[in-house]
Structure 1
Amino acid sequence: MVFHIVISDASAGRVYKLDHNAPMSTWAYALNYTPLRVAWAGSEAVVVFYVLSGFVLALPFARSRGPSWRVFYPRRLIRLYVPAIASLIFAWITTLIVHRRIISGGSPWLNHHASEPTGPMQILLGSSLMAGWGGLNTSLWSLRWEVMFSLLLPIFLILAAWCSRWDLGKAVVVLLFCAAWPLVGWFYPDLVYISVFSLGVLMAYNLDALSNAASRIPPFAWGIVVTASIVLLTNSWIVAGVDLNNPARRAWIAIASIGAAGLVWVAIGCRAARRLLSHRSIAWLGGISFSLYLTQEPVVVGLAFVSGGRIPLWLEVPLAFVAAVLVGWIFYRLVERPSHRFARAWGSKRRSAAAGLQQSSAPSRTAVPMPGSEAT
């Protein structure tokens, strides 16, 4: 969200387009080309989200059998698609309230939302979550890979469960793919994103080992782990700056994924991090985080067009933050939470139907079992 607020500003637009020629202040330089970039590192935050999502979705299956697939898939797709489609409708409503126009000298990212179509057809096309949302809610590009990962989850689980002594080798293969594909792959470079989920899945299957390793780290050393993870996460800006031809930039996801996995490990194993992330305010933000993710871009874009993209960042960041959190909370209450209830009700109905079918097909007490039926 902070990333979108920053790049909606006219002066920050040059950094977003990697075409920075004007002189920078010391503070601006530090926010771009040092680990302080983590404060508004949008693309890097997506990598953390993918590692965390892979961990969370795989954990029930790693610890036990997990839910049946006939229950998992409907519930998962309902929880993803219903709020996402509602967010497209919400974004379209904001375009009717706030006129979008090309702003001379404005942010390229902001003007993109004025040049792309934003009508009902984009709601229809974007509802697939694969493409077609135009300028309504471009944040959905990252949800596309979440949907694909959810559909392909059984394959990820099979590969993670297969030959556990090779788990480190599997992680190395994933990282090598992330590094090599953008350099040599001519077909769809963004394909590397779905492989990042694998690291989270592997972490779920090695949770005990990760917890044991965390228990041996002294409290002061966690600061070093956090710092190293942030440096790895923001490596492409520190090493390559704005040079698009630098291999370190093109292959940035490989190194950033290690930093993302490190931050997830900190959240799992560091007591201070767990206390912080369990704080009431952080937990509340976590509760509405998906709704906030779905609605923040239309809010940020709408406010930027109202002001012509000229609000000073020191004012725009808190103003847009408060507005986006308020809208996210309302969206959660009106859309996301009811969709969760619907998904749970659907899952309960499918489980009840499956249990009834299993009971009705079970042999009676007087039935003669077939040979080997006990083992089956």
Structure 2
Amino acid sequence: MTARLHSDSPRQTIGRLTRLDGLRGILAVYVMLGHTAPFIPWPSALGWGVEAAVSHGLAAVNLFFALSGLVIVQSMARFGGRARAFLAARAWRLLPVYFVVLALATAVLAWRSPFAAMPWVHLGDLGCEFWERTLPHRLFAHIALHLALLQGALPHDVLHDAQFSLLGPAWSLSTEWQFYVMIALVVPLTGIDDRGLRRLVVLCLALGVSGRVYTAVMPVAWHFHRAFLPNEAAYFAIGIAAARLWRGEAGLVPFAATLAVAVLIGASHGSGLGMIGKGLPPLVWAVMIAAQRTPDHRLVRPIARCLDHPAVLWLGAISYPLYLVNEPVGRALAVVVGGAALGDPVWFSLVWGPLTLAGSVGLAAVLHYTVERRCLAWAKARIRPPVAVTAAAQSSGPAAV
């Protein structure tokens, strides 16, 4: 096992996949648009079209999970299977920006509810699912769970809406962290060679099936939110399958079979938006992999060029803080603009929408350059991969992070 983990074969690592960096940017912008649109009172002739176009944020997040599956097994390979170093590097990658935005979101939530300034948003509307109205009861319990990234690991009725209570988008970070811990525990036992990756794919798909079985047989009070790892594990599986494909250690058939199982698991969520959000990502993921691997093919050339555009790549660079800041920025601006608009929905929409998008991108850029990059540089200087793995990475290009 040690020999496999520390192999100096260049096939243990993958060079940076720039077009998938561009995909991060597009996904972050899509989620931002989807979280902004429900608060704008669209004309009835446009409302259904806008909702149909940007209401699949769950599908976008599931594609983020697929990206993580691809990237994280490579990160674990770079650290030679050392769980402590791997988790420390991931913590420095996620936590500094997250803690800053969590503090901002909590302060904005405690400041004032924006719903009084938006009388067109009613209980039961989609916007009310994105933004909480006030700070939650048992506030310190919610804060503790968010600080530990465990807000998605509790059944619904243990602490109501814990996954959304302070910073809604952070539910996916809880899922990511559960996946990181699982990888840190399992990879030292399985290795990170092709056999180990194959076992990880099977494990993630098995977790996905177990999540569906659990939901089918357990009382509703004990159901978990989608942030619980078994409910999203199939999407990490298709990312790990892509890593096998990229190394050349597995052909298209195992990759396609993993996609098919993930689609079936997603389709088991029923009809409507839930099935689209769960069943569509594996198919989109296959197209994105094709755009990365064969960018000159006529069927995917336009997609590859879009993902290669400098503006899209820059959005990919700031995608992590951009994904997090949209909610507190939009909420704070809704209080300010809503108060000035005096209930005028047209005035509010024309001012608040562009300000929210521009403010989110601006704050995300500030956090990227002042917090994220500096913390990553600090961690990179102190948490180094083993020498053999570093040499392997240099022989195959810079490792994806």
Q: Same fold (TM over 0.5)?
A: yes
Count of residues in Structure 1 that have an aligned counterpart in Structure 2: 308
Q: Distance in 2 between matches of 1:133 and 1:253?
A: 18
Q: Distance in 1 between matches of 2:336 and 2:175?
A: 32
Provide closer, same or farther for how the CA distance between residues 267 and 128 of structure 1 changes in structure 2, counting only shifts above 3 A: farther
1:48 counterpart = 2:79 = no
1:286 counterpart = 2:324 = no
Q: Distance in 2 between matches of 1:29 and 1:43?
A: 18
How much does 1:147 deviate? 0.6
Q: State the partner residue of 2:289.
A: 265
Q: Distance in 2 between matches of 1:126 and 1:171?
A: 24
Q: State the partner residue of 2:233.
A: 194
Contact map agreement 1:52 1:264 (CA 8 A) in 2: no
Q: State the partner residue of 2:328.
A: 298
Alignment of 1:1-376 (within 5 A): 1-9=32-40, 25=45, 27-33=46-52, 37=53, 39-60=54-75, 66=80, 68-95=82-109, 99-103=112-116, 104-108=119-123, 109-110=127-128, 112-117=131-136, 121=140, 123-131=143-151, 135-154=165-184, 158=190, 161-162=194-195, 182-184=215-217, 186=219, 187-189=222-224, 190=226, 191=228, 192-208=231-247, 240-241=271-272, 249=274, 254-271=278-295, 272=301, 273-308=303-338, 310=345, 316-348=352-384
Task: Note the alpha carbon deviations across 1:288-333, whole angstroms, 9 max, x for none.
Answer: 1111112111011222233448456566443321110001111112
Give the letter aligned to residue 256 of structure 1: L
Contact map agreement 2:337 2:351 (CA 8 A) in 1: no
How much does 1:100 deviate? 1.9
How much does 1:56 deviate? 1.2
How much does 1:110 deviate? 4.5
Contact map agreement 1:75 1:346 (CA 8 A) in 2: no
Give the letter aligned to residue 188 of structure 1: H
Q: State the partner residue of 1:363.
A: none
Give the letter aligned to residue 92 of structure 1: T
Q: State the partner residue of 2:257.
A: none
The gaps in structure 1 that reach 5 residues or longer are 13-23, 214-228, 243-248, 353-376
How much does 1:88 deviate? 1.1
Q: Distance in 2 between matches of 1:84 and 1:253?
A: 25
Task: Note the alpha carbon deviations across 1:18-74, whole angstroms, 9 max, x for none.
Answer: xxxxxx53x4334445xxx3x442111111110111111123557x77463332111
How much does 1:208 deviate? 4.8
Q: Distance in 2 between matches of 1:351 and 1:170?
A: 27
Larger Rg: 1
Higher relative contact order (CA 8 A, sep 6+): 2
Q: Distance in 2 between matches of 1:278 and 1:125?
A: 38
Q: Distance in 2 between matches of 1:92 and 1:175?
A: 32
Q: Percent identity of the aligned residues?
A: 21
Task: Note the alpha carbon deviations across 1:351-376, whole angstroms, 9 max, x for none.
Answer: 69xxxxxxxxxxxxxxxxxxxxxxxx
Q: Distance in 2 between matches of 1:54 and 1:329?
A: 25
| Helix, strand or coil at the partner of 2:168 | coil
Contact map agreement 1:102 1:114 (CA 8 A) in 2: yes
79-88 or 266-275: which moved more?
266-275
How much does 1:181 deviate? 5.2
How much does 1:258 deviate? 2.1
120-129 or 324-333: which moved more?
120-129
Provide closer, same or farther for how the CA distance between residues 49 and 6 of structure 1 changes in structure 2, counting only shifts above 3 A: same
Q: Distance in 1 between matches of 2:212 and 2:281?
A: 10
Q: Distance in 2 between matches of 1:114 and 1:282?
A: 34
Provide closer, same or farther for how the CA distance between residues 278 and 183 of structure 1 changes in structure 2, counting only shifts above 3 A: same
| Helix, strand or coil at the partner of 2:334 | helix
Q: Distance in 2 between matches of 1:57 and 1:85?
A: 21
Q: Distance in 2 between matches of 1:114 and 1:65?
A: 43
Task: Note the alpha carbon deviations across 1:58-110, whole angstroms, 9 max, x for none.
Answer: 23557x774633321111112212221111112234457x6225435525444
Q: Distance in 2 between matches of 1:156 and 1:2?
A: 37
Contact map agreement 2:333 2:356 (CA 8 A) in 1: yes
Contact map agreement 1:46 1:142 (CA 8 A) in 2: yes
Q: Distance in 1 between matches of 2:350 and 2:291?
A: 30
Provide closer, same or farther for how the CA distance between residues 143 and 263 of structure 1 changes in structure 2, counting only shifts above 3 A: farther
